[in-house]
A and B are shown apart, each in its own frame.
Chain A
C-alpha cells in the first residue's frame, strides 16, 4: 500500500469524477445498446415475449397546459395495454421560448426524443431539412384506418414545404378577441364587432378604470397578428416580409397607436408578460384579450368564463381585412425521430404509440381539455363550455384561416416586430421605421 495503490486510487477517483459528469449520456447509451444485442440472437419463435422498450415523448403538455392530464391519461392507457413499453413524458411549458431551444438542441445533439410534439412550418424546417424526422406519408398510406381518422384539412395543414407530412396533428387552434360580455353589458356598450364600437368601448372603459384590452407589449404575438390581419387582409398578412413591405402593415401598427391613445392597453403593458395579461382577463379586470383557444382553460372564475365570448378581431377602416378573418390552423403535430424509426427495437412501439396518441378517441379527449379543434374526421365539434362553442362557430364561419405571422418570418424579424409595438404606440418610432427595421433583419437572414 504505497505508491502503486495510491496511483490506482487517485486514477480511480479522477475517473469516477469524469463518469459522474457524463453519467446521463452513459445511461442513454446502455439503454439503447442492450436491446440491440438481444436482436442478434436468431428469432426462432414468432411469439417471443415483447422486449422492454422505453420511449421518450417530448411535448408542451406540461405545467399549466389545460390538456396536461388528458395527455398523461392517454399515455397511461397505452402503457397499461403494452406493459413492455415505458414512457418518459418529457414536457416543457410553451409559455416562453425556452422549449424551442430545448427541442432544437436535442435535435442537433443526437438526443432526439422518440416522439416529438412540436410546431410545423418554419419552426421545424431546420430539423426536417437535416433529416432528423421521418416523413409519415408511407406510414399513413399503409394504414387506411389511421389515415382516414384525420380530417383531410387538418392533415393537409401540417404538410411541410417539400410536400411531405412529417407531423400528424392532434388538435388545431384558433385565436380571436375574447370579450367579457358582462363588462360590456354593465357599461352599456355594444360588443366590438366593428372599429367604431371598438373605439367607443376602449375609451369608455378606460375612463372607468377598467382595462379595455389586456395585452403586453413584449409578448405581443397575438396583437401583431390580429392588427396586421385586419389591416392587410389574409393575403397581405400571409405574405410576410420576404418580398417587400406591404404598406397596409403600417396601418396595422398605426391602429395599435390609435387604440393605445384611447387608453386600450394596461398601464403596465410594457413590463407584464402574457400570463399576467391573461390573468387580468381571468380575474375580470380586463374587458378584452386577444388570445388563443388554449387560454380559456386558465380562466377559472365562473363570472368570467361563463360571460366570455370570442369573436374575430374587427376590420379597421381602410384595411383589407373582412372582419371575419381568423388566425388558426393545425400548427403542430407529432414527429417521429429518424433514429427511433431506424432502431428495430423501438420502431414498432413508437409507431404504435404514435397511432394511439392520434386516434380519434385521444384526439377528442385532448380537444375537449384544451378547447382546440379536433384533427379527427368524425369527432363531433363540441365545446367544453359556451365560449369554446362560440370559438368553433367563429372558426367555421371565417372567411380565411391564417397561420400566425411568426411562422412566416425569421425569429429575429418577429422579435423586431414585437419590440416595435411599444416604440410605435408611445410615439418613439413611426410604423414605417419599425417595418423597415424588421425588413432589414429579414433580408440579412435570407443571405
Chain B
C-alpha cells in the first residue's frame, strides 16, 4: 500500500473526533468569547457593550479573591496530591506481592463522583451533627467549626486532594513499571537503596511523567467546582474560579460576564501550565 491511500483513511478516521471537538469544545469556546462582549439579561436579551466586561474583570475584587483561593488549592494539590501519589507509588513499586490489590484500593475514590464525596464530607464537617464533632463531643471536647472563615478552604482541599490521589498514583506506578530492571540491579550493586534510590533513581527516571501529572493537576484545579459548591456553597472565603463563573453565569443569569470569567480561566490555565512546563524543563530520558 502506498502512503497516499493510507492518508485518506487517516483523514476519515480523524474526522469524527475533529467534528466532536469542534461542536462541543471550540464552538462553545468561541461562543463564550463572543458573549463576553455583551451584557445579557436572562436568556433572551443581550446588548453589545464592548470591553465593559473586561473592564469589570480587572477591577473585580471577588474575582481576585477567587483566583487566590484557586491558587491556594493548586498549591495543596501539587504538594499533597502529587506528593502522596508519588510516595504511595514508590512504596507499592517496592513490594513484591499485592500490587494489584493496592492499585485497586487507591484508585477506587477516583470512580466515585465528586458530588457524592462532597455530600459525605458535608456530613463529616457539619457543626451540629457532623461525624467529626460527634467524635469530639464523645471525647468530651469542645465542638469545632470546621468550615470557619479561616479553615473552610483547607477543609475543602482535603477531599479534593484525596479524590484524585489514586489517579496520579496509577500513572506513577505505570511509569515506574517501565523502568528497566537493570537500573535497579546496578543500584543494588552500588549499594543504593531506600530513600536514596527513590530520589536519585526512580523519580529522575519518571520525571517526564511527573511533569504530565503536574500539568494535569494544575488544569484540574482550575475546574474544581463540586467540592466547593456542595460543602460550603462557595461561602466563607472558599469561592474559586469555577464556582464564581457558575454564579455569575447561571445564578445571576449574566452570561456575558460569566463568559468573560470563563475566558479569563482559560488564559490563566494556559499561562500557569506553560510556566510550570518551563520550570520543570528537563532532558527527555529514553531507556
Contacts and interface: CB of A to CB of B under 8 A. Distances in A.
A97 interface: yes
B60 interface: no
Q: How big is the A interface, by class? A: 35 or more
Given A14-B15, A412-B254, A105 B43 contact: yes
B44 A415 contact: no
A187 interface: no
B147 A268 contact: yes
B16 A3 contact: no
B43 A107 contact: yes
Contacts of B235: 217-218, 270-271, 422
A52 to B, nearest CB: 32
Contacts of A447: 39, 47, 49
A89 interface: no
A142 interface: no
B128 A411 contact: no
Interface in B32-73: 39, 41-45, 47, 49
A217 to B, nearest CB: 6
B12 A280 contact: no
A25 B271 CA distance: 38
B160 interface: no
Interface stretch (B197-205, B214-222, B244-252, B277-285): B244-252
A105 B255 CA distance: 12
Interface stretch (A32-40, A123-131, A253-261): A123-131
Interface of A is mostly: helix
Interface stretch (A4-12, A69-77, A301-309, A334-342): A4-12
A21 B20 CA distance: 8
Contacts of B232: 270-271
Contacts of B129: 283, 285
Given A3-B5, A412-B253, A10 B12 contact: yes
- For A10, A98, A211, A219, the residue with the greatest tally of chain B CB atoms inside 10 Å of its CB is A10
Contacts of A185: none
A14 B16 contact: yes
Interface of B: 5, 8-9, 12-13, 15-16, 19-20, 23, 39, 41-45, 47, 49, 122, 126-129, 145, 147, 149, 152, 231-236, 247-248, 250-254
In the complex, the 4 A-B pairs of residues with the closest C-beta atoms, listed nearest first: A412-B252, A126-B44, A268-B127, A126-B42
